[in-house]
Amino acid sequence: MSSTHNLMVLCLAFVSGFIIMAIELLGGRILAPYFGSSIYVWGSIITVFMLSLSIGYLMGGRMSLHNPNLGRYGIFFVSAAVLLMPLVLWSNSMMEFIFLRIEDPRYGSLVVSMLLFFLPTAVMGMIAPYSVRLLVMDTARSGHIAGMLYFISTLGSALGTLATSFYLVLWFEVNSILLVMSGTLAIAGATAIGASRAGLARSTN
């Protein structure tokens, strides 16, 4: 694999890590008008993110066994971008619907978190194990490569947490941040898909 390919995968993994944690932090802001910001609301958000990521890791690992390529990798990003849009378009309607039907805010916040965050987070969770498979060509170096990838991804998560909590929520509205993140994921996905097609074109010439 070329160094350009590896650098692209690492950069895209960084983007994914950044956005996952940014959305998790924004989750508290999104749910607060209806369910408050108590510890059980955050418990619901964190539980849903951990559950969706674990399922995403499992699915991504399985999918990486079958002809892994940048094209499919890019589809993960594009799919996550599309799945973020309900947070912008329908989050208030969904929260109001659940709020009026589930009296206990603990379970109301849990249900809303599942509806809003489960699918996009699960898809983004698929990115990490798939990234490892795209990078690992030599099993003797697999541990080193996996460690480097998770370092990059977790660094992105740390910076996403810091940037969102210290700056983004102060400067921009939540929907504006989500739209930018959705656009960023779409651009990242298109970049990976474009690189895959360019590689296929070169291989056939």
The CATH number for 195's domain is 1.20.1250.20
User: For residue 203, what pLDDT is reported?
Assistant: 52
Domain span at 191: 3-204
User: For residue 136, what pLDDT is reported?
Assistant: 81
Summary mean pLDDT of the chain: 91
Mean pLDDT check: name the lowest of 4-8, 40-44, 120-124. Answer: 4-8
Read off the pLDDT of residues 101-155 as tens digits, 9 standing for 90 and up. Answer: 998 989 999 999 999 999 999 999 999 999 998 988 766 677 788 888 889 999 9
* Rounded CA separation 164/170 (Å): 8
Phi, psi angles (nearest 5°) of residue 137: -110, -20
Read off the pLDDT of residues 68-88 as tens digits, 9 standing for 90 and up. Answer: 899 999 999 999 999 999 999
65 pLDDT above the threshold of 70: yes
Domain count, the chain: 1
Higher pLDDT, 77 or 199: 77
**SS3 per residue for the chain:** CCHHHHHHHHHHHHHHHHHHHHHHHHHHHHHHHHHCCCHHHHHHHHHHHHHHHHHHHHHHHHHCCCCCCHHHHHHHHHHHHHHHHHHHHCHHHHHHHHHHHCCCHHHHHHHHHHHHHHHHHHHHHCHHHHHHHHHCCCHHHHHHHHHHHHHHHHHHHHHHHHHHHHHHHHHCCHHHHHHHHHHHHHHHHHHHHHHHHHHHHHHHC
